[in-house]
Amino acid sequence: MSITPEEHAHRQTSDLELVAWVDEEDRLLGSLPRAELRARGCIGRCTYILLFNSAGELCVHRRTLSKALYPGFWDVAAGGMVGPVEGYAEAAARELHEELGIIGVPLREHGRFFFDEPGNRLWGAVFSAISDEPLLLQPEEVQEACFMPVSAVLAHSQHEAYCPDSLEALRLFLR
């Protein structure tokens, strides 16, 4: 499978996007373009929003093949990098709207974690939200989405490729 010209252009634009650059203690150092942050092995800030429906099922989506990290992987959280002048909660609300089309729902924060893998070093803030509104998927980021019981998600993640950082966010939530 190949990516479309629109997905390629979106990837190039997002690689130039300025994101918050922090140290190992999550202290703001400044901002860097997303691609440079990753290439230099620097640490960024990221949000993870676990979206549930009123039946308690978790929204799981498959990332597009144009994503720089984990293309085509399943993801248990909407979310993304925090901008240089954004707080975690502000970025979480923005990302939930951009990726899944959900706006105006209360977000509950569940804590933060440090994730360190080559090419993906970050401080992540985990949020949850509940909504039964129809999803409006961002085509450059999300191929498909569905709601599943958390137990089914955990079982599915044993034999399908899932984003390891979002699984860490889910583990923090479940604790």
CATH code, domain with 45: 3.90.79.10
Strands 108-117 and 43-52: unpaired
Q: What pLDDT band is residue 24 in, cutting at 50, 70 and 90?
A: very high
Choose among 91, 78, 80, 83: nearest CA to 135.
78
Q: Which residues of 134-172 are buried (b: 16+ CB within 10 A; e: fewer)?
A: ebeebebbbbebebeebeebbeebeeeebbebbbbbbeb
Split into its structural domains, the chain has a count of: 1
**pLDDT at position 14:** 63
pLDDT, mean of residues 43-65: 98
pLDDT, mean of residues 38-55: 97
When the pLDDT of each residue in the chain is averaged and rounded to a whole number, the result is: 92
- Pull the structure tokens for residue 111: 């804590």
In percent, the amount of the chain with pLDDT more than 90 equals 89
| pTM reported for the whole predicted model | 0.90
- Show binding-site residues for Mg(2+): 95, 99
Find the domain containing 161 and state its range: 5-174
**pLDDT at position 10:** 40
